[in-house]
Structure 1
């Protein structure tokens, strides 16, 4: 765990969030949070941030997952979810691995500006120009990104239909 990064006791994900990355330190899982303000350490798993954000906005992780399953089909896994509406814009995050995995990384769909394959990994560039090397084949990452894009578009169209 990086000793140079500040630790926060709470964090609510938003469209300012870039990613929530699980990191292990002394057999405990923490979260490396990256957003437009920089990076901080949160002393719990990323799924706790997801659950707390959904709860703060009057929903739940299970309800968000149900909404995604309604769109993609019930037998899908590693689904993108909408955790909030941030100033009317759906905040969609997608997991790179199983959400229950201690190695999972949640990526904010709206924060990505470039995706590059590098050997067996993927390098993602975010809105502020920062990059993160992710331990996942680019093809797998792109598959997750496309699903998040489809879900985001569905949410926008659904919202616009009610206006």
Structure 2
């Protein structure tokens, strides 16, 4: 994997993780994409905030929306951009300088390595060990899946409502002919 340096990084469909890296007394971001790693002098949390704004909603709005949908209050997963299925979750409090951000769409599997480490297997079959406990990673994956499900349920509900408003109630037909039942009444 090649490393590229950029100051203006926006999360996109290729982003797999954003991990803090210390350089002297400054925290940089090591961003794992599908084909390369990108290094940015911006902290991971700031990249998340900037990316939410880029897609039209501020981080706090996304956070409040998540809280309303799934009724949790700590280490909330965030929908950065729902149309392209960009959901992220944090390994610790977002303000924690050691917090790693993972992007659920790219995670194929994960396994316990030790009490404080988890191996993440990405969809492209690359794997990497991260300093995150398995239970924390698992909980965060479950919360993110729950958020995705709740959001999709709302989208589907609105689609059904729109179809009803545009076309009226659908005539449901039984798989059997109604003639069988009409003849039995006689």
Name the TM-score, length of structure 1 as normaliser.
0.90
Alignment of 1:17-28 (within 5 A): 17-28=15-26
| Partner deviation per Cα, 1:30-67 (whole Å, 9 max, x = no partner) | 00001113111011111111111111111000000001
The answer to whether the Cα contact below 8 Å between 2:79 and 2:86 also exists between their aligned partners in 1 is yes
Q: Larger helix proportion, structure 1 or 2?
A: 2
2:35 to 24, 37, 41: 37
Aligned partner of 2:168 in structure 1 is: none
Alignment of 1:10-159 (within 5 A): 10-73=8-71, 76-85=73-82, 88-120=83-115, 121-159=117-155
| Partner deviation per Cα, 1:59-89 (whole Å, 9 max, x = no partner) | 0000000011112326x2101010113xx24
Structure 1 moving runs of 4+ over 4 Å: none
Higher relative contact order (CA 8 A, sep 6+): 1
SS in 1 for 2:9: coil
C-alpha displacement at 1:5, in angstroms?
2.3
C-alpha displacement at 1:137, in angstroms?
1.7
Q: Larger strand proportion, structure 1 or 2?
A: 1
CA distance in 2, matches of 1:34, 1:159: 30
Alignment of 1:1-16 (within 5 A): 5-16=3-14
SS in 2 for 1:6: strand
The answer to whether the Cα contact below 8 Å between 1:50 and 1:61 also exists between their aligned partners in 2 is yes
CA distance in 1, matches of 2:157, 2:37: 37
The answer to whether the Cα contact below 8 Å between 1:90 and 1:156 also exists between their aligned partners in 2 is no
SS in 1 for 2:28: strand
The answer to whether the Cα contact below 8 Å between 2:5 and 2:40 also exists between their aligned partners in 1 is yes
**Count of residues paired in the alignment:** 157
C-alpha displacement at 1:162, in angstroms?
2.3
Answer with 1 or 2: which has the greater Rg.
Answer: 2
- Aligned-pair Cα RMSD in Å: 1.4
C-alpha displacement at 1:110, in angstroms?
0.9
C-alpha displacement at 1:93, in angstroms?
0.2
Name the TM-score, length of structure 2 as normaliser.
0.80
